[in-house]
Structure 1
Amino acid sequence: MHPVQTFELILVLLGAAVALHLIAARLGLPPSAALLVGGGALASLPGLPPVSLDPELILVLFLPPLLFDGAYYTAFGRFRRHLPGIMSLAVGAVLFTAAAVAIVTHWLIPGLSWAACFALGAVVSPPDAIAARAVLQRVTLPRRLQALLEGESLLNDATGLVLFRFAVAATLVGSFDANQAVGSFFLLALGGVAVGAIVSAAWMFVLRRLHDDTLVVAASTLMCWAAYLAGEALQVSGVIATVTSGIAFGWFQHGLLPARVRLQGSAFWRTLVFTLEALIFILMGFSLRGVVDRIGFEQVLGSLLGPALLVTGAVIVARLVWVMGTEALLTTVRAMGMRSARPLGWRSAAVLGWVGMRGVVTLAIALSLPAGFPQRDLMLVTAFAVILVTVVLQGATLGGVIALVRPKDIDPPAPVALPAAEAAVARVKFEAAEQVAYDGNGELIHPQLLETYRSRAVGTERYAADADRFMEKIRPHFSLMLGVIAAGRAELLRLHREGQIEDEVLHDLERDLDLEEVGIIYQRGDDAPG
């Protein structure tokens, strides 16, 4: 394909992504499902060139920024508190699912070696961070359940990738050493943590010495690829290195980045993540066309689809069995007196068991199977079947499952809620203003400053006392303020259009109005614009 054609195709795909997002919102479907199905439909249109995806490029291009973004926004306190449960899912559930798939595959194809069966299990076992993120953003879950799902999605890819490499090597050489595999997994994981910590520390050292906002945002963006590539170059887990660097940067950025850089970077990352997520799901649909064209549609329907659907069923059932089995075990040992065991409750466990969408990692490692690998065509079709069924079926029905079982948030909330936290910040700001409002002789020299922060402190104290009632009264006030800002913006544009102010004045004052508007929208309780 000519480079210009490639660029034109990318533009077409981006336009299709916007359209499919709008269709998904109109139909109440997860965007990932609409993009995946829409990509497959677009690929069948006449005149569009075939798309060949390089698996290594998929992992390097798409995985680091999307993992980094998820890690950056991870609630680290809950992540650390629920790490045993996260590891149960990220390691235990992945290995259990791989074993279940291997058993079903060996039953379907008795002549296939166990190592090759486990290779297929490794391909389809890790739920995907990108697919999970795309669905979880649309639902509201209890805090503990959210922490488990987010943490699992960040770490389970490493388990699947390590298992896949060992299973493929065992298939090709004919031997497998379980002790070596376990030891290598922990070495890769710990090495990934070390590399991620070193890269994030080095990057933040550099960021402190950059004094240009655009350079800071650009350098921050490169951190994810630096961590991933460094981990892979040192033959440790690039996935865990990326996650570690993202968590570290998210933890320390509050004192590192100025507010203006944080706003600018946040807007850039939202656009980047949207673009990458949209492209990868559409490209998954496109890649299905290439596989079907090569294998033949008749062969897919005649001999491969049945086993692929059985394996897909095994993938879904295995996760449910693991989650419900773990829940039953925790409930039993707690009833026996072990108070540290904390079951989720059947409602949350049902949701946790149903969230198992597969995506980019399953696609990439399936495509990376060697050309002469036993039953490679079956494994490719199975990988696509698992992705399609889990994203469309589980993704589209997750909201209904949550509404049906109504999971309860049994974790105690943090001692200080949002209204009280706002009041505490406003009170400290008033005290700081009070200290500088008077001169050395005790004379008030900054009355307006003092009055501004006094009124804010009093207002937030009233808000904290009865947040719901206070917001009900103050919300119309915020709406009026937005109307006033709109009037100011209209006047600013009139002055510019009539040639009375320069472009620089327009941009400076418009930025001030934008920041003021965003602040009011946040105070009113709406989602941030973006």
Structure 2
Amino acid sequence: MEALIVVIIAIVVIALATAVAPKLGIAGPLILVLVGGAVSLLPFLEIPEINPEFILVGVLPPLLYSAAVSLPAIEFRRDFGPIAGLSFLLVILSSVLLGFFFMAVIPGIHPAVAVALGAILSPTDAVATSIVKRLGVSRRVVTMLEGESLLNDATALVLLRTMIASVGLATSVTGDTRIGFGFIPAFAWGVVVAVVVGAIVGWLNLRLRSLIKNSAANTAIGFVVPFIAYIPTEELGGSGLVAAVVAGIVTGQGAARWFTPEQRRSDEHNWHTIELVLEGAVFLIMGLELSDIVEQNVEQHNGIGTGLGIALGALTIIIAARAGYVSLLVWLQSRRARGRQRTRLEAMNTRLDQIADGSVVPDPRYRGRRGEASFDDPRAQRRLSSMRSRVSRALSDLDYYQASPLGWKHGAIIVWAGMRGVVTLAAAQTISSDVTDDRALLVFIAFAVAVGSLMLQGFTLPWVVKALRLERPGDDSLDRAEQSALDDELRDAAVGALSSPALRRRDGSAFDEELVERIGSRMVDPPDDADGLPTRDLLELRLAMIEAMRVRLNELSSGGDYSTPALRHALAELDADQLSLELRLDDEED
């Protein structure tokens, strides 16, 4: 009963903190850390020790899966190189630099344990994304921070596990305390297995849930997907968190094609609620553990001065390494945005158009089976279409880079938004006393870095954004001109569907020709009971045209001409319209 009361109070506190945060101008997680820290100081309360497995296994997989499902796919692909660099190269670099630092300031620490602690402190937390979104920073910066927080957790935890494993292997077999390169195959295996298992689970999730029409049963299956990806991957020696992220990405990108509107809307609301509760619980726990961790260090190290000094040095190294890496990243991205490839790509696109309309003789590899300069061969047509799509996508990417360039101000935001949090705290507690005698000190260092980073950077980030005087992008969700162009594309698809013989009712029967002729393109807009036409026929025709628009929307999603927010907004409108029409049809049947 007591545990149930604690859970109820915690959920209420999380909800209140989330509701109050915008009014106070402070991120909700920061409020929860402060509340937890204040509660931990109450002398009449005993805070039980939280098993880190609860966070690593029970919290992080669904949290990362939820974020991966909503990841903006097009922007993520465009900036995958920088995101991968932040998530992999920067984590490795920071871990090694911190490892050397810890070996210098902590007497007798094993090199592998020092690097492991560096890996614990290296990943950033997703709380930065929520803060930056609220401040109205460029969507490109938000996407990079979001992608980094998804992938670098897995990199850090795989490195942590391989380092800890190498400690036992080196000391038990050879007695040598140096770090060898034997961990590299294990590291690579952990990532590869996770990607394969995660992709398979995501694919099966799409297929299975598309067959289940019961919404409650469908939702229940959706809740266990991150764990289905996590558990077998861990058993195979891979990173379960990477698998959960990959499963989420595959599910998120296939949802528009495989799920019903009801499933998509239900998933969006359910996972948003789960994400709110789980993330809030972890930050609340972070504050609640403050008092106990401080007491352990006072007892074992005669105070907290040693731990705080080391934590301050580690945080300085983290920020400096991040600043150096991001500076190089911004410079490389600015060169990419100058558009030196545009002339070559435009010339290539023009030539492909000329080849397609027959005004230019095609390359021999595009000739027909008898060698004639034609595109009667379906394989040649597919090859030309594929090349035109790739060139068009490359041009769209260049437009994106030039429309949202990364400058030094954006780089400063990326650096300062690199806060530590959930993963750092959970991973630190997985270090057992069998590995090192300094466990309490290492956990305190990780805690001090995480809390110090959240407080220092989290509270000052709004001031930094204001001081840099970054141009606000306006409405974060939509570009009105882009949305209008996309609506025109969908309207054309709907009008074109009227003359298609494939236009059918839900039961497969054909529409009355007189009905189609009388309605015409006016059916693109929501129907009214007009002209004495049967209401049911109007609703059925509108549903058929919504399906045609959704097919066209899925085609546009792979082209790169429209941003993810615009595509998702259009899909949400179609889903809402379809659900409304289906409800009216049900009323008609009753």
TM bracket (short chain): 0.7 to 0.9
Q: Is structure 2 residue 415 aligned with structure 1 residue 353?
A: yes
Partner SS state of residue 304, structure 2: helix
- Taking a change above 3 Å as real, the CA distance of residues 244 and 451 of structure 1, as seen in their structure-2 partners, is closer
Structure 2: state its 5+ residue gaps.
343-393, 528-578, 585-590
- Taking a change above 3 Å as real, the CA distance of residues 216 and 97 of structure 1, as seen in their structure-2 partners, is same
Instruction: Supply the AA of the counterpart residue of 1:294.
Output: Q
- Taking a change above 3 Å as real, the CA distance of residues 331 and 446 of structure 1, as seen in their structure-2 partners, is closer
CA distance in structure 1 between the aligned counterparts of 2:98 and 2:311, rounded to whole angstroms: 11
Aligned to 2:30, which of 30, 33, 42? 33
CA distance in structure 1 between the aligned counterparts of 2:132 and 2:337, rounded to whole angstroms: 30
User: Cα distance, 1:408 vs. partner?
Assistant: 6.8
Is contact 2:209–2:218 with CA below 8 Å preserved after alignment?
yes
Aligned to 2:464, which of 387, 396, 401? 401
**Residue in 2 aligned with 1:84?**
81
CA distance in structure 2 between the aligned counterparts of 1:454 and 1:57, rounded to whole angstroms: 51
Partner SS state of residue 116, structure 1: helix
Q: Is structure 2 residue 432 aligned with structure 1 residue 370?
A: yes
- Taking a change above 3 Å as real, the CA distance of residues 443 and 58 of structure 1, as seen in their structure-2 partners, is closer
User: Cα distance, 1:295 vs. partner?
Assistant: 3.2
Is contact 1:79–1:147 with CA below 8 Å preserved after alignment?
yes
Partner SS state of residue 467, structure 2: helix
**Residue in 1 aligned with 2:185?**
183
**Residue in 2 aligned with 1:503?**
none
TM-score (norm 2): 0.69
CA distance in structure 1 between the aligned counterparts of 2:210 and 2:190, rounded to whole angstroms: 30
Q: Is structure 2 residue 163 aligned with structure 1 residue 167?
A: yes
Partner SS state of residue 278, structure 2: helix
CA offsets, 1:185-221, max 9 Å, x none? Answer: 2221111110001112222232122120111111112
User: Cα distance, 1:234 vs. partner?
Assistant: 1.4
Choose 342-351 or 89-98, whichever is displaced more: 342-351
User: Cα distance, 1:51 vs. partner?
Assistant: 2.6
**Residue in 1 aligned with 2:322?**
319
Is contact 1:312–1:385 with CA below 8 Å preserved after alignment?
no
Q: Is structure 2 residue 199 aligned with structure 1 residue 197?
A: yes
User: Cα distance, 1:117 vs. partner?
Assistant: 2.0
* Moved segments of 4+, more than 6 Å: 329-335, 337-343, 413-416, 434-437, 439-443
CA offsets, 1:159-190, max 9 Å, x none? Answer: 21122123323444244554332332222111
User: Cα distance, 1:447 vs. partner?
Assistant: 7.9
Instruction: Supply the AA of the counterpart residue of 2:438.
Output: Q
Aligned to 1:420, which of 459, 480, 485? 485
Instruction: Supply the AA of the counterpart residue of 1:83.
Output: F
User: Cα distance, 1:512 vs. partner?
Assistant: 6.2
Q: Is structure 2 residue 250 aligned with structure 1 residue 248?
A: yes
CA offsets, 1:478-524, max 9 Å, x none? Answer: xxxxxxxxxxxxxxxxxxxxxxxxxxxxxxxxx969x99xxxxxxxx
Q: What is the count of residue pairs matched by the alignment?
A: 455
**Percent of pairs identical after alignment?**
29
TM-score (norm 1): 0.77
Is contact 1:51–1:286 with CA below 8 Å preserved after alignment?
no
Which residues in structure 2 correspond to 1:18-417 (within 5 Å)? Answer: 18-128=15-125, 130-172=126-168, 173=171, 174-176=176-178, 178-296=180-298, 299-328=302-331, 344-372=406-434, 373-406=436-469, 417=482
Aligned to 2:523, which of 449, 453, 465? 453
CA distance in structure 2 between the aligned counterparts of 1:246 and 1:416, rounded to whole angstroms: 30
Is contact 2:133–2:142 with CA below 8 Å preserved after alignment?
no
- Taking a change above 3 Å as real, the CA distance of residues 180 and 214 of structure 1, as seen in their structure-2 partners, is same
Instruction: Supply the AA of the counterpart residue of 1:425.
Output: L
Aligned to 2:10, which of 10, 13, 22? 13
Is contact 2:229–2:243 with CA below 8 Å preserved after alignment?
yes
- Taking a change above 3 Å as real, the CA distance of residues 423 and 47 of structure 1, as seen in their structure-2 partners, is farther
Is contact 2:17–2:31 with CA below 8 Å preserved after alignment?
yes
User: Cα distance, 1:143 vs. partner?
Assistant: 3.6
CA offsets, 1:29-54, max 9 Å, x none? Answer: 11111111211112222443313111
Instruction: Supply the AA of the counterpart residue of 1:162.
Output: V
CA distance in structure 2 between the aligned counterparts of 1:9 and 1:442, rounded to whole angstroms: 62
Instruction: Supply the AA of the counterpart residue of 1:64.
Output: P
Instruction: Supply the AA of the counterpart residue of 2:454.
Output: V
- Taking a change above 3 Å as real, the CA distance of residues 368 and 16 of structure 1, as seen in their structure-2 partners, is same
Partner SS state of residue 238, structure 2: coil
User: Cα distance, 1:243 vs. partner?
Assistant: 1.0
Choose 102-111 or 192-201, whichever is displaced more: 102-111
Is contact 2:294–2:304 with CA below 8 Å preserved after alignment?
no
Is contact 2:82–2:329 with CA below 8 Å preserved after alignment?
no
- Taking a change above 3 Å as real, the CA distance of residues 160 and 261 of structure 1, as seen in their structure-2 partners, is same
CA distance in structure 2 between the aligned counterparts of 1:355 and 1:387, rounded to whole angstroms: 13
CA distance in structure 1 between the aligned counterparts of 2:234 and 2:510, rounded to whole angstroms: 61
Structure 1: state its 5+ residue gaps.
458-510, 517-530
User: Cα distance, 1:99 vs. partner?
Assistant: 2.2
CA offsets, 1:443-499, max 9 Å, x none? Answer: 633688557525569xxxxxxxxxxxxxxxxxxxxxxxxxxxxxxxxxxxxxxxxxx
Alignment RMSD (CA, Å): 3.5
Is contact 2:207–2:258 with CA below 8 Å preserved after alignment?
no
CA offsets, 1:87-107, max 9 Å, x none? Answer: 111111111211222233233
Partner SS state of residue 24, structure 1: helix
CA distance in structure 2 between the aligned counterparts of 1:357 and 1:109, rounded to whole angstroms: 24
CA distance in structure 1 between the aligned counterparts of 2:213 and 2:328, rounded to whole angstroms: 54
Instruction: Supply the AA of the counterpart residue of 1:90.
Output: S
CA distance in structure 2 between the aligned counterparts of 1:367 and 1:269, rounded to whole angstroms: 27
Is contact 1:31–1:134 with CA below 8 Å preserved after alignment?
no
Is contact 1:300–1:381 with CA below 8 Å preserved after alignment?
no
CA distance in structure 1 between the aligned counterparts of 2:257 and 2:331, rounded to whole angstroms: 43
- Taking a change above 3 Å as real, the CA distance of residues 455 and 371 of structure 1, as seen in their structure-2 partners, is closer
**Residue in 2 aligned with 1:482?**
none
- Taking a change above 3 Å as real, the CA distance of residues 431 and 86 of structure 1, as seen in their structure-2 partners, is same
- Taking a change above 3 Å as real, the CA distance of residues 338 and 287 of structure 1, as seen in their structure-2 partners, is farther
CA distance in structure 2 between the aligned counterparts of 1:106 and 1:440, rounded to whole angstroms: 76
CA distance in structure 2 between the aligned counterparts of 1:454 and 1:13, rounded to whole angstroms: 48
Is contact 2:111–2:179 with CA below 8 Å preserved after alignment?
no
Instruction: Supply the AA of the counterpart residue of 2:463.
Output: G
